[in-house]
Amino acid sequence: MSWRKILLSDIKRGTVIRMTKMEADGAYHMATIIAVHYEDPRYPHVKVARPYAYAHEEFNGKDPLLGAEVFAIGIERLLATESDAEVFQGRDTIRSMVT
């Protein structure tokens, strides 16, 4: 069981991905694919959601803020040789979550 490069068959709603370049920069590097747009003639892409929390000591702790950053990644970029997107391969299937 380990992380491996993402494949075309892995690209579906609910797939959890790891972006190693973000991890190397010290950012939270896990995201979930929440939409797949193969048919977009201009830019076939996926939309991913990456959670965040304002937890700085100066932030008002009585009203914590949790949310998700949503952004697009091109399918061609995800599958490129130099891509940093990975999925976790368990015993049988890749890890996913309900979206």
Q: How do the pLDDT tens digits run along the chain, 99 residues long?
A: 688 999 999 999 989 999 988 888 888 889 999 999 998 889 999 999 998 877 666 766 666 678 889 999 999 999 999 999 999 876 666 666 654
Q: Check if the beta carbon of residue 34 is closer than 8 Å to that of residue 47.
A: yes
Distance between CA atoms of 42 and 63, rounded to whole angstroms? 41
Burial code of 25-60, b = ≥16 C-beta within 10 A, e = fewer?
A: eeeebebbbeebeeeeeeeebbbbebeeeeeeeeee
Q: In the prediction, which pLDDT does 88 show?
A: 85
Q: Check if the beta carbon of residue 88 is closer than 8 Å to that of residue 94.
A: yes
